[in-house]
Structure 1
Amino acid sequence: MTLPPLFSDWFAGNGWQPHPHQLALLAARGDTLLIAPTGGGKTLAGFLPSLVDLHLNPGKGLHTLYVSPLKALTADVGRNLARPITDMDLAIRVGDRTGDTPTSQRRRQRADPPEILLTTPESLALMLSWPEAAKMFSSLKRVVLDELHALAESKRGDQLMLGLARLKRLAPGVQTTGLSATVEDPAALAWFMGAESVLQADPGPAPDIALLPTLQPPPWAGGGGRYAVPDVLDAVAGAKTTIIFLNTRAQAELFFQALWLANDQALPIGLHHGALAREARQRVEAAMAAGELRAVVATGSLDLGIDWGNVDLVIQVGAPRNIKRLVQRIGRANHRYNAPSRARIVAANRFEVIECVAALEAARAGELDGEPRGPGPLDVLIQQILLTACAAPFDANALYAEVITAGPYRALSRDDFDACLDFAATGGYALRIYERWQRLVLRGGLWQLRDPRAARDLRMNIGTITEAEKLKVRRRGRGGGPLGEIEETFAASLSPGDTFLLGGQVLRYDRIRDLVMEVTPTPGREPKIATFSGLKFATSTELSQRMLRVLADPDRHAELPQNIRDWLALQARFSALPRPGTLLCETFPRAGRWHLVIYGFAGQNAHQTLGLLVTRQMEGLGLDPLGFLATDHALMITSLQPVTDVAPLLTTPGLEQGLEDWIAASSLMKRSFRAVATIAGLIQRNRPGARKTGKQATFSSDIIYDTLRRHDPGHILLRATRDEARRGLIDFDRIADMIARNPQIGPRALPRVSPLAAPLLLELGRVRLAGEGQLRLAEKMARDLMEEAGLNRVRGDD
């Protein structure tokens, strides 16, 4: 295809020239992955072949299917498509099919679909389960997959690739285009979607990115970045429109509140994150599109390609943890191909300054990070098998041949496929006696639903996103009062007797009954685990290694602020700086306790797991461990006895065995099993007329898990659960990689706390505070500790 005169005139009438990659994609044949910078016209490039083909060859029926990870992005694309269609008076209907689409509109689409349909992976899976799916998609010519890199990082991407394999069977010859701006390995992403070629656009001008200058230096410990609120407000006042990104919803809420309290200029500022009601998010999106807000505080809900052309500044508060996430967020500013994006970063504490400098360096160099993609998960495949049966009876050989055309499932063995099919049909060996899990039956050589009415329940439970549950925390005993809530992912890592902080109190975990954690306050004790915030984004391996290279090279310290340079120089004189190839481990006494600090740079989740495993070994050696603190960069363990030789505690075989013992004693596997069982359809959270409560789902899944462990330990869901727990919750592979990357142990026996470890001690003692008096006491404790570590001489602290 070439660009028809109507389209050439439209570009010229708007003062534009088609970008080379837009014309190249118009002429491309076969499946293609397009990588173009934010603002480079990726979306128009993806739709241009469809608009041209529908102009030259008008016809009824669904022509193009667009899939994005966000409903908000789908709505934004619909608005942007309306312009060329209206301007050129094209006879093309565009519709959307998401969870927000009214029922009446969905019903019309099934009988008379628009030429272009915008949807999400979950809604596509639902449409493919309809009996009329074969008829609806038979006319399909093109599929556009937007922000493909974001989808590929989760089970939603695996689900989408299985759906794409089905579409290619229903509409032979359909052409697929993947769109992405931030890809660390284009060949791997192309392989994932089955693309035959990769088209890379000119990257455009280099971004204008730097640390945001602040009147106060970052604090030694803590997070949130609220010390920089006046500086952020000044930056907002000097820009047209600003997006202020934070890493979690809680941080976004707190920072938004702090901005409003300090907002003397009454700048209009909004808040946007996934936990807000749809109406609230839509009001903010509409206000931003209309230019009515000067800033919006947001989380990952605005990471992807919503096009607000008046945004000219992005501020990232807190270390980005991931280079790709930073680049993605930077691209939201000056959403134009020929204008450099402008972004500033605010480090939440002084350790984060080093991470931010490393991330900025990587972003300027165009180097991205990413975890390797594993094989397609089996629970997602089981869901696909059941949804296939909802649409029509199927032949097992044909379905297997279809599934292995999907990138994540190319290496799927027939034995594993048959095990998934057997589970979908009967529940497997230990559950086949129960009629409720006998869902498929073989008739005339084809598998079909045993009871057609089951299709409704299966469709109501489509999806791969499992919501995080919270547990209420109460004092144990009659009349025990409520103390708050904790994330279930954190509770799953605890064993009875462990202590943790909540609301400024040290609590001992006793037991869980009916989704309530019963605890006993233990005043005067230090918590074994000093944080209760659950699992967060961990700093990527690539970014951690960049940090190590910055730390290890004194010549690179010139890139850091003066107070950070002084801090690191003092650390180098007193102990040593972390460096690649050697695992720095410090031991020192303080206040009658011994402290071991391991600078692993493996991420908070991995360090938390390492802390649990190492303290178990220390208990066996009689070293009396009291607790630990895990951050993204280091692990600090407190004990009554000194660790004189850390190397035996860090052998991979010993840690592997400890992992097995810990998993057996914790509720981690049960938690993972519930997520896997929900995706695989064993546990149905949604039922007609009611939603199953978390308590009911937990009770059901725990009984099934115990039954399978006793009677069918090789069950396909137990295999999937183990893979899920190891990969997604405990990051044990990162621990093994950390040990492999650092064959040398660098022990340092110190007489007192080191400059690098002092902020960790502040984190260890950090509790929620109320009142100015207690706040001043905390500030005095920080000053005293910095004096002890010799950090009173570091500039910028007075």
Structure 2
Amino acid sequence: MPAFDQIIPNDLPAPLTQWFSAQGWTPHAHQIQMLQAAGNALLIAPTGGGKTLAGFLPTLAAACRDKIGAGLHTLYVSPLKALTHDIGRNLARPVADLGLSCRIEDRTGDTPATQRARQRVDPPHVLLTTPESLALMLSYPEAPKIFGALRRVVIDEIHALAESKRGDQLMLCLSRLRSLAPDMQVAGLSATVENPAALAQFMGGAEIVLADAGPQPDIAMLPTSAAPPWSGAGGAYAARDVMRAIADARLTLVFINTRAQAELFFQALWAVNDENLPIGLHHGSLSRDARRRVEAAMAEGSLRAVVATGSLDLGLDWGDVDLVIQIGAPKNIKRLVQRIGRANHRFDTPSRARIVPANRFEVLECIAALQAVEAGELDGDGRAPVGGWDVLCQHILLLACSAPLDADALYAEVTRAGPYAGLTRADFDACMDFVATGGYALRAYDRWQRLVLRDGLWHLRDPRAAKAIRMNIGTIVAPELLSVRRGPRGGAPLGEIEESFAAALSPGDTFLIGGQTVRYDRLRDMIVEVTPQPTREPKIAVFNGLKMATSTELSARVLDLIGDRAAWAALPDHIRDWLALQARVAQLPKPGTMTSETFQRGGRWYFALYSFAGRNANQTLGLLLTHRMERDALAPLGFVATDYACLIWGLEPVRDPAPLLDPEGLRAGLQDWLAENAMMKRNFRSVATVAGLIQRNLPGARKSGKQATFSSDILYDTLRKFDPDHLLLQITRAESMRGLADFGRIEEMLRTRGQLVHSMAPHVTPFAAPLMLEAGRIPIKGAGTARLLEDEAARMMAEAGLTLEGFAAKTQA
């Protein structure tokens, strides 16, 4: 190994050199490269590789040389509030050890209002924040003063932001910061990137710094005493096995994909926690205090395990975590890699992780994910994302709150942001017109006349509107959430539940929140008041959570695994037997083919299509196929969709699925369905909220979810009738095709798997059996339902000794 002084460059200040030596550390090559980068840089390094220190090393070096004056020098942006808190704690250590007069503060939605107000006039040297809080700060007239001295921006977990509207928002904010502070440098940090060049393009251009990959992770399936069930997603069958693994580790992170499942699995663990080990629960619907208590307990080493959702799977540095357990299939290879990295958070130590599939199909997905990790493959199309127009509209409104806007200068600034580099002037002008007037159909209404042109600059028409605009900032439009508190007014906050769930509760009902069962008492002032009720069986709060679909790459790997008999050697015995039985009874799905089957059971005909296209696409397929079956007099009664298949049942058999799967017919049916579908209105509400057309929060008042839905439904119907090409309708249609319908995956499936293989099975097949046990069935009310009602009426009349004709004759007599 080279001598220490041969590795550290001469331009690293002596105090930092001594500090590294005192820790017994040698700087990694990628950390030195980040220090020496002349411009923007994108660092891709494995978890535990010192990415955060690499991002802050130039700041620490500048502070050691007394080159940090008054004002904000470094801005750190994270996708998670919890991550800013964690980074602040970790960064405080070298600052204290080096004796630097460097003030570090965070600025998120959890920061007290008095501190946020002070930061506008007296910003710290290092500010840790989120994209939403940064956008809000840029909306104040003081923005040029706050950010004028800015020299560095560090974006942590940049890959996670690049995949959402939050990333669009952040890149627009960076473009504005470059106008306010032309000399600033941007450092992007990530551990999981499938296409570094595309991510660098997203940043607006950056030098790519690649770190050594480090040791291969120790990752495998967790042995369980029982085989996974045929259906379900909770993983409770393995609770005792997971508890044994927790007992054998120092600190375990147990990841699960949704908040409701996290609550359920936490309860299942407590039920088998015979040693009474301290375990915690962490997800986004818990109160801030509850989350902070768990984070502090983890940092202190007083917990043995934490059950968590995505609220802890990014960047948090809990050094004592030596085991990660993923409950349920990860749905995404990158997500699994990210979560694996939470264990043994050190560069030279392999991460240790175990996976627990929730059901039999998920065994295949988990094995496919393990193989992908071993091969070093990630999912994603690798293309640089294109920025959303609704986010741009919000950005324009926020900047107008800060100062009057010059449209030409703003267009030049916006197109310097990576996601908007291809934005045409015509599309930009359409966004400006919408922000100023509401668009053609709404320009007659005073409430949407928000900007006015004076002396060549766009001003806020009513400066008093700035407060309402700031109150409605953000690109995440979640369901309406109500605070849950213990006891009457002033009781301790427990977390939040969705308004729709609260509306279904009656006094005395019980539900789970924060790992405890509570009884609903009353709803007062938009607060759900509850009383702890540990002895009662709970309902489960329907948290919005993360409804994930299996990625295209992971689905393809599962299909390859099923179709390759040689690969079955890696499968458990019960899975091999299951696949072999499916091959005998019907057909096995395999690459290049579209496999389906029809069978009869209980007086119903079932049609199963094994698309492996993901949950959203299969949900869309179910809707479109049942519509076409209705047209062809096949009398469908309902369907259910999973990530792997769509199962439809009805009164007539599907003997030839080819006409149902005609691509042109499916696309035409999708357009008709989207035009009338209620989900389009929900998507429109989300788009209109982000774009600023609908405001949920107003000074001194707050719309309920029902009020906001009513307002957006009226607007949607009005625009469809009088302005069908309105900007927001264009955005809604495009997003619905991509997100709600996931129609691109359906078209990809039809294009790449052209050979249609259909079986008329003698009975329910091994692959269809789990589908028939799946929750979430969707009924179809059409001709099939009418036929059932007529048949039932005839049977009842026969039981009464009457025919319909005889009954009519007696009535007339």
Q: Under TM normalisation by the shorter chain, which class is it?
A: 0.7 to 0.9
Change (3 A) 1:168 1:766: closer
Contact 1:487 1:533 in 2 (8 A): no
Residue from 294, 306, 309 that aligns with 2:304: 294
1:622 matches 2:633: yes
How far apart in 2 are the matches of 1:608 and 1:488? 22
Displacement of 1:532 in angstroms is: 13
Correspondence for 1:322:
332
How far apart in 1 are the matches of 2:645 and 2:689? 35
Residue from 603, 607, 610 that aligns with 1:592: 603
Provide the aligned length of Structure 1 versus Structure 2.
713
Deviations 1:336-375 (A, max 9, x none): 1110000000011111100000001111111111255542
Change (3 A) 1:634 1:161: same
How far apart in 2 are the matches of 1:35 and 1:535? 26
Contact 1:271 1:284 in 2 (8 A): yes
Correspondence for 2:47:
38
How far apart in 2 are the matches of 1:258 and 1:373? 42
Residue from 252, 258, 264 that aligns with 2:268: 258
How far apart in 2 are the matches of 1:554 and 1:704? 55
Pairing 1:192-591 to 2, within 5 Å after superposition: 192-371=202-381, 372=383, 374-469=385-480, 536-591=547-602
Q: Secondary structure at the match of 2:463?
A: coil
Change (3 A) 1:196 1:533: closer
Correspondence for 2:184:
174
Contact 2:16 2:64 in 1 (8 A): no
Change (3 A) 1:111 1:534: closer
Q: Secondary structure at the match of 1:136?
A: helix
State the one-letter code of the partner of 2:412: A
Contact 1:153 1:373 in 2 (8 A): no
Displacement of 1:575 in angstroms is: 2.1
Q: Which deviates further from its counterpart, 677-686 or 572-581?
A: 572-581
Change (3 A) 1:470 1:310: closer
Displacement of 1:703 in angstroms is: 1.3
State the one-letter code of the partner of 1:151: L
How far apart in 1 are the matches of 2:356 and 2:286? 25
State the one-letter code of the partner of 2:100: L
How far apart in 1 are the matches of 2:420 and 2:46? 29
Correspondence for 1:92:
102
Correspondence for 1:76:
86
Correspondence for 2:62:
53
State the one-letter code of the partner of 2:653: P
State the one-letter code of the partner of 1:356: C
How far apart in 1 are the matches of 2:481 and 2:344? 39
Contact 2:285 2:543 in 1 (8 A): no
1:611 matches 2:625: no
Aligned identity (percent) is 66
State the one-letter code of the partner of 2:74: T
How far apart in 1 are the matches of 2:277 and 2:632? 60
Deviations 1:168-189 (A, max 9, x none): 0111121100000111111111
Residue from 81, 101, 117 that aligns with 2:111: 101
Q: Secondary structure at the match of 2:154?
A: strand
Q: Secondary structure at the match of 2:774?
A: helix
Q: Secondary structure at the match of 2:770?
A: helix
Change (3 A) 1:591 1:673: same
Deviations 1:93-120 (A, max 9, x none): 1111111111221222111211111111
Q: Secondary structure at the match of 1:453?
A: helix
Residue from 19, 44, 68 that aligns with 2:28: 19
Correspondence for 1:684:
695
Displacement of 1:292 in angstroms is: 0.3
How far apart in 1 are the matches of 2:205 and 2:264? 43
Q: Secondary structure at the match of 2:355?
A: strand
Displacement of 1:766 in angstroms is: 9.0
Contact 2:258 2:546 in 1 (8 A): no
Change (3 A) 1:470 1:29: closer
Deviations 1:507-548 (A, max 9, x none): xxxxxxxxxxxxxxxxxxxxxxxx999982000000000001
Displacement of 1:414 in angstroms is: 0.7
Contact 2:259 2:545 in 1 (8 A): no
State the one-letter code of the partner of 2:46: P
Q: Which stretches in structure 1 are left out of the alignment for 5+ residues?
A: 472-484, 490-530, 768-798
Displacement of 1:468 in angstroms is: 2.2
Q: Secondary structure at the match of 2:186?
A: strand
Q: Secondary structure at the match of 1:34?
A: strand
How well do the aligned residues superpose, as a CA RMSD in angstroms?
Answer: 1.9
Change (3 A) 1:253 1:603: same
Contact 1:380 1:679 in 2 (8 A): yes
Q: Secondary structure at the match of 2:306?
A: strand
Displacement of 1:488 in angstroms is: 7.9
Displacement of 1:249 in angstroms is: 0.6
Residue from 196, 200, 210 that aligns with 1:186: 196
How far apart in 2 are the matches of 1:698 and 1:222? 32
Deviations 1:661-719 (A, max 9, x none): 21223212211111111111111111111211111111111111111111111111111
How far apart in 2 are the matches of 1:674 and 1:533? 16
Change (3 A) 1:25 1:288: same
Q: Which deviates further from its counterpart, 275-284 or 460-469?
A: 460-469
Correspondence for 2:529:
none
Q: Secondary structure at the match of 2:566?
A: helix
State the one-letter code of the partner of 1:348: A
Displacement of 1:765 in angstroms is: 9.8
State the one-letter code of the partner of 2:400: A
State the one-letter code of the partner of 1:153: E
How far apart in 2 are the matches of 1:164 and 1:341? 34
Q: Which stretches in structure 2 are left out of the alignment for 5+ residues?
A: 1-8, 483-496, 502-541, 779-813
Displacement of 1:306 in angstroms is: 0.8
Correspondence for 2:138:
128
Change (3 A) 1:308 1:117: same
Displacement of 1:573 in angstroms is: 2.5
How far apart in 1 are the matches of 2:353 and 2:420? 39
Displacement of 1:745 in angstroms is: 0.4
How far apart in 1 are the matches of 2:403 and 2:121? 18
How far apart in 2 are the matches of 1:233 and 1:182? 29
Displacement of 1:759 in angstroms is: 1.6
Q: Secondary structure at the match of 1:311?
A: coil
Deviations 1:637-665 (A, max 9, x none): 11111111101111111011111221223
State the one-letter code of the partner of 1:347: P
Displacement of 1:195 in angstroms is: 2.9
How far apart in 2 are the matches of 1:719 and 1:38? 40
How far apart in 1 are the matches of 2:697 and 2:448? 16
How far apart in 2 are the matches of 1:283 and 1:231? 27
Displacement of 1:315 in angstroms is: 0.4
How far apart in 1 are the matches of 2:256 and 2:757? 35
Q: Secondary structure at the match of 1:636?
A: strand
Normalized against structure 1, the TM-score is what? 0.87
Change (3 A) 1:359 1:644: same
Contact 1:535 1:605 in 2 (8 A): no
Deviations 1:227-272 (A, max 9, x none): 1111001100000000001110111101100111111110111000
Residue from 750, 770, 774 that aligns with 1:739: 750
Q: Secondary structure at the match of 1:203?
A: coil
